[in-house]
Structure 1
Amino acid sequence: MVKPAIATPAATNPFFPLPFLVISRRRETRDTVTLRLRPLSDVRLIAQPGQFMMLSVYGVGEVPISVSGLPRRPGELEHTIRAVGSVTRHLVALHPGDQIGVRGPFGTSWPLQLAHGQDVLLVAGGLGFAPLRSALLAILRERWRYRQVIVLYGARSPADLLYRRDLSRWLQRPDLVLRITVDHPDQYWRGQVGVVPNLIRQMAAFFEPANTVAMICGPEIMMRFTIRELQKHGIPDERIFLSLERNMQCAIGLCGHCQLGPFFLCKDGPVLPYSRLAPFSEIREF
């Protein structure tokens, strides 16, 4: 029996999408679904939390989508996708049995090893929870490696909350601090109301700034104010990590569409420490 090959630059052409089968589809919100994918070739694409794949719909196009989960079986991928354009609308409409093309993995990953023995602060806004969910699942799988684990998550409304079943389970865990807030509550909402950075002030007593690794993903304005709040509480810039995905097309640093200052975010990112990004934080689309 021939064993499947692990994907390496020598094993797969980074420009050539490999066929994957949609094996499950879970609706998260009115416009967002999570797809689980299984390879149809002998090459396994092994992605780390924080990395992204290029997902292609045949005859339509391709888009960069971060991995949002851990593989249940070797080579499987999980992606949470919101319908915001032509390609993503087609992806969201897929069902089990459909096929798509996948190339990758690309980019940098969340600094999970750096966080060993440290307090971990995950701050997510909106769909930014998707790249951070894979990091959180990896942390919980090896929970003994980390000290305090704090997750702060904000959404526009209760209807926009992702991963409801996960949230219910995580709220019951004694080894995890989870706080959720929404901008616009409905009549049934009994949780917090307001922006995510406000949660940091409430959680300041739960982490030691000098021994904390913070990971952030969300809308630009949310990340800007989150960074400022973390700085106010003494977390150094080199221990604040952001995921920035911008206009990625080639995914290997050739086309230049995702350039931010000296960085090609598809290759040097999407995960970077704020200490490297700070000089370019005023550039549009930071």
Structure 2
Amino acid sequence: MAGFENNPLMPELARVEERIAETADVVSFRFSRTSPLPLGYRPGQFSMIGVPGFGEAPFSFSSLANGDNTFTHTVRVAGNVVLALHRLQPGDHVAFRGPFGAGWPLEKAHGRNLIMVAGGIGMAPLRPAVEYVLKNRDRFRAVFLLYGAKTSDEILYQRELARWNEGITVLLAADEPQGRLPLEVHKGLVTKLFDFVPVPVSETVTFTCGPQVMMKFAAARLILDGQRDTDIYVSLERRMECGITHCGHCQIGAKYVCKDGPVFALADIMRFQDTLL
């Protein structure tokens, strides 16, 4: 089968190797491509996953590329494609295209402080950035992960939090803290966690992903504290159908989320009203 290397609109098969229930409505799927060639992708990029008879949808990679032909997506039940995806078991196949888009500019944070701010399912696109930092810890100064959810039970990757906290500072928040997690969960919005970050934002790069209202208030707080809008990066969600700018559904101003994003510097998009930022 002709693959992405020849035509970005032509999918190849990917096999479900493993499924892991993260929460009541979120599952991580580990896939392997039919092609044995290594799949190179950057934290923050995405692929298009198709389920025959149900369509195709974009998903950010939630794993760090490890030099083989496997990759992971973490998906929450929402829409027909994801409902069909959630029914899949190891051994089933999907259509795969990618990788697409621009990822997190991790090199820009080398030698500086890094703050990652996640809300809900927005932790999934940031997970590979966390793993990159842990793998290359000496390239960064202080690193903080601020992660908020509606309830403690909705916090993703709970089995990994303690390991992450050994290399970076992980701060958690929930509207309704409950249950037992390996780390303390503060009551309230994720933006409250900025009070526990003792580094000057003028020497910091920030990545944020989650509900747009959360990113809006996080960015406003950071700018108020003195961070430059060129050092704040957001990951946007839009209706992406092709992944290569042809359909135009993801256009904001002169930019395309599928090509120029999904990760943007705040300075590049804040003038566009439909970003809500």
**TM-score, normalised on structure 1?**
0.91
Q: Distance in 1 between matches of 2:118 and 2:46?
A: 17
Q: Which residue of 1 aligns with 2:75?
A: 81
User: Which of 126, 147, 163 is residue 120 of structure 2 equivalent to?
Assistant: 126
Quick one: which amino acid aligns to residue 283 of structure 1? D
Alignment of 1:141-156 (within 5 A): 141-156=135-150
* Contact 1:108 1:270 (8 Å CA) reproduced: yes
Alignment of 1:153-164 (within 5 A): 153-164=147-158
Quick one: which amino acid aligns to residue 88 of structure 2? L
Alignment of 1:228-243 (within 5 A): 228-243=220-235
1:254 partnered with 2:246: yes
1:185 partnered with 2:177: yes
Identity in percent: 40
1:270 partnered with 2:258: no
Quick one: which amino acid aligns to residue 249 of structure 2? H
Q: Distance in 2 between matches of 1:80 and 1:187?
A: 22
Quick one: which amino acid aligns to residue 242 of structure 2? C
Alpha-carbon distance change, 56 to 96 in structure 1, aligned in 2, over 3 angstroms: same
- Comparing 81-90 with 34-43, which one deviates more in the overlay? 34-43
Q: Distance in 2 between matches of 1:48 and 1:279?
A: 27
**TM-score, normalised on structure 2?**
0.94
- Comparing 91-100 with 61-70, which one deviates more in the overlay? 91-100
Alpha-carbon deviations, 1:102-156, whole Å to 9, x = none? 1011100100111110100000000000000011101111111000010000011
- Comparing 129-138 with 73-82, which one deviates more in the overlay? 73-82
Q: Unpaired segments of 5 or more residues in structure 2?
A: none
Q: What is the CA distance between 1:254 and its match in structure 2?
A: 1.2
Q: Which residue of 2 aligns with 1:104?
A: 98
Q: Distance in 2 between matches of 1:73 and 1:30?
A: 31
Q: Unpaired segments of 5 or more residues in structure 1?
A: 1-6
1:14 partnered with 2:36: no
1:283 partnered with 2:274: yes
Q: What is the CA distance between 1:252 and its match in structure 2?
A: 0.5
Q: Distance in 1 between matches of 2:208 and 2:264?
A: 10
Alpha-carbon deviations, 1:250-280, whole Å to 9, x = none? 1101111111111111111100100111111
Quick one: which amino acid aligns to residue 16 of structure 2? V
Kindly tell me the number of residue pairs found equivalent between the two proteins.
Answer: 273
Q: What is the CA distance between 1:232 and its match in structure 2?
A: 1.4
* Contact 1:32 1:80 (8 Å CA) reproduced: yes
Q: Distance in 1 between matches of 2:144 and 2:232?
A: 14
1:41 partnered with 2:32: no
